[in-house]
């Protein structure tokens, strides 16, 4: 099923989002825009879904609160997301990530490659997890935090 996506920002994260969109379906189409392309004077198709392809949590939040558009949630085909997990709008879950039972991922998060969010964990809005981070069962990552590559947050921690 061909879908149209808009990606706000064409840096490194935007490129990874584009790759994921094509992994979902090679017939999907992608168009980029950002502040430099003056998106408010462009005629972008309303039916297209928007992903903010910017890794900086604060910038992603500012854009999400400013841009009025339908946001997509992107899950790479090699990721596993439990059917009981809750994933917020605008979130991107990348290759080989695992989101276990009853985990909650907020809006506009980046769950990077090889990240595990274990059962009952809560990842609040605008969080970025770098590759190979681990969020243990019942742990909580508060809004706007960034987990470093390989960082582990235990269930008794609120980060």
- pLDDT at position 36, please? 65
Which of 8-12, 49-53, 72-76, 142-146 has the lowest average pLDDT? Answer: 8-12
Rounded Cα distance between 71 and 64, Å, is: 9
At a CB cut-off of 8 Å and minimum separation 6, what does 11 contact? 53, 54, 55
- Any idea which residues carry the catalytic annotation? 119
Rounded Cα distance between 66 and 63, Å, is: 5
Residues of CATH 3.40.50.20 domain(s) within the chain?
Answer: 4-66
The hierarchical CATH code for the domain 4-66 is 3.40.50.20
Residues of CATH 2.160.10.10 domain(s) within the chain?
Answer: 74-153
The hierarchical CATH code for the domain 74-153 is 2.160.10.10
Work out the number of other CB atoms within 10 angstroms of the CB of residue 30. 18
Q: How, if at all, do strands 128-129 and 152-153 pair? A: unpaired
pLDDT digit string, tens, across residues 64-110: 999 888 999 999 999 999 999 999 999 999 999 999 999 999 999 99
- pLDDT at position 157, please? 65
Is the model's pLDDT at 47 over the cut of 70?
A: no
Strand order of the β-sheet with 152-153 is 80-81, 98-99, 116-117, 134-135, 152-153
């Amino acid at each position: 099923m061909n879908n149209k996506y808009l990606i706000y920002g064409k840096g490194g994260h935007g490129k990874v989002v584009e790759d994921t969109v094509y992994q979902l379906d090679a017939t999907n189409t992608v168009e980029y825009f950002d502040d430099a392309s003056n998106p408010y004077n462009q005629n972008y198709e309303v039916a297209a879904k928007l992903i903010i392809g910017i890794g900086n949590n604060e910038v992603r939040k500012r854009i999400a609160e400013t841009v009025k558009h339908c946001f997509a949630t992107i899950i790479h085909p090699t990721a596993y997301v439990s059917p009981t997990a809750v994933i917020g709008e605008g979130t991107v879950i990348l290759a080989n990530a695992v989101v276990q039972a009853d985990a909650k991922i907020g809006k506009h998060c980046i769950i990077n490659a090889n990240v595990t969010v274990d059962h009952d964990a809560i990842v609040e809005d605008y969080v970025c997890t770098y590759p190979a981070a681990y969020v243990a069962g019942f742990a909580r990552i508060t809004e706007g935090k960034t987990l470093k590559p390989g960082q582990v947050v235990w269930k008794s921690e609120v980060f």
